[in-house]
Amino acid sequence: MIGVEVSVVSLDEWVPTISARIRRKGWRYGHLTCRRDEEGKRRLEILLLNLTTSTSEVISAAIPSGQADIPSITPTVPAAHWAERAVGDLWGIRADGHPAFSSVILNEAWPTDVIPFHRAADGIPAIRNTHLLSAHGSGIHEIPVGPVHAGIIEPGHFRFTCIGEVILNLEIRHGFQHRGIENRLATTPWRLGRFLAESASSDETVANGLAHAVALERLSETRVPDRANSIRTISLEIERIANHIGDLGGLSADVGFAIGAATFARLRGVALGLGQTLAGSRFQRGLICPGGLAWDIEDTRLTDLGRSLAELTHRIHEACELFFTNPGINERYQGIGILPLASVEELGIVGPSARCAGSHYDARRHFDHALYPGFVTNIQPQTTGDCYARAIIRRDEIMDSLDILSEVLKNVPKTSVLAEMPDDLAPNGIGIGIVESWRGELIHWITTGPTGTISRYVIRDPSFQNWIGISLAGRNNLIADFPLINKSFSLSYAGSDL
Amino acid sequence: MSNVLIGVALHCLLVASLPILLACVIRKTKARMQGRPGPPFLQPALDLAKRLKKSDTVSETTSWVFRANPLVGVALTVWLALVLPWTGATPILRGSGVADLILIVYLLAAIRFFAILAALDTGSAFGGLGASREAALSVLIEPGLVIGLAAASLSSRTLDLSIGLGSPVRPTVAILSAAAFLIAALSELSRMPIDDTTTHLELTMVHEATILEYSGRRLALIEWTVMIRTAMFFGIAAVLLVNGMFGPDAATNPLIIGTGVIAAGLFLAVFEGVSVKLNWRRVPSFVAFSTALAVMSAFVAAVER
Residue percentage of chain A with pLDDT more than 70: 99
On chain A, the residues whose CB falls within 8 A of the CB of B35 are 262-263, 266
Residue A442 near residue A461, CB atoms below 8 Å: yes
More confident residue, B2 or A15: A15
- The mean pLDDT of B219-229, rounded to a whole number, is 95
User: pLDDT tens digits, residue range A71-100?
Assistant: 999 999 999 999 999 999 999 999 999 998
* CA A250/CA A194 separation, integer angstroms: 30
Question: Quick one: pLDDT at residue B199?
Answer: 85
| Closest approach of A295 to chain B, Cα-based (Å) | 37
What ranges do the domains of chain B cover?
2-304
A143 touches B at CB < 8 Å: yes
* CA A373/CA A370 separation, integer angstroms: 8
Residue B66 near residue B58, CB atoms below 8 Å: yes
**Contact: A258, B280; criterion CB under 8 Å:** no
Question: Quick one: pLDDT at residue A451?
Answer: 87
On chain A, the residues whose CB falls within 8 A of the CB of B282 are 331
| Closest approach of A145 to chain B, Cα-based (Å) | 9
Residue A389 near residue A383, CB atoms below 8 Å: yes
CA angle in degrees (0–180, nearest 5) for A106-A112-A117: 65
Q: Which residue of A has its CA nearest to B196?
A: A256
Question: Quick one: pLDDT at residue B1?
Answer: 59
pLDDT above 70 for A152: yes
User: pLDDT tens digits, residue range A327-353?
Assistant: 989 999 999 999 999 999 999 999 999
Question: Quick one: pLDDT at residue B305?
Answer: 67
B52 — pLDDT class (breaks 50, 70, 90): very high
Domains of chain A are 4-122 (3.30.460.80), 140-173 (no CATH), 181-497 (1.10.645.10)
User: pLDDT tens digits, residue range A3-32?
Assistant: 688 999 999 999 999 999 999 998 999 999
Interface residue of B204, B281, B282 to substitute, partner A, most A CBs within 10 Å: B204
User: pLDDT tens digits, residue range A177-214?
Assistant: 888 899 999 998 888 899 999 999 989 999 999 999 99
* CA B85/CA A287 separation, integer angstroms: 67
On chain B, the residues whose CB falls within 8 A of the CB of A257 are 274-277
Please report the number of interchain residue pairs, chain A to chain B, with beta-carbon separation below 8 angstroms: 83
Quick check: helix, strand or coil at residue A161?
Answer: strand
On chain B, the residues whose CB falls within 8 A of the CB of A480 are 203-204, 279-280
**B283 alpha carbon, distance to own chain's centre:** 18
pLDDT above 50 for A120: yes
pTM of the model: 0.92
Question: Quick one: pLDDT at residue B178?
Answer: 92
Task: Classify the complex by whether its ipTM is higher than 0.90, answering yes or no.
Answer: no
A1 — pLDDT class (breaks 50, 70, 90): very low
**Contact: B276, A256; criterion CB under 8 Å:** yes
B191 touches A at CB < 8 Å: no
* Exposure class string for A393-403: b at 16+ Cβ within 10 A, else e: bbbbbbbbbbe
B37 touches A at CB < 8 Å: no
**Contact: B34, A258; criterion CB under 8 Å:** yes
* CA A391/CA A398 separation, integer angstroms: 11
* Exposure class string for B131-170: b at 16+ Cβ within 10 A, else e: bbbbeebbebbbbbbbbbbbbbbbbbebbbbbbbbbbebb
A330 touches B at CB < 8 Å: no
A254 touches B at CB < 8 Å: yes
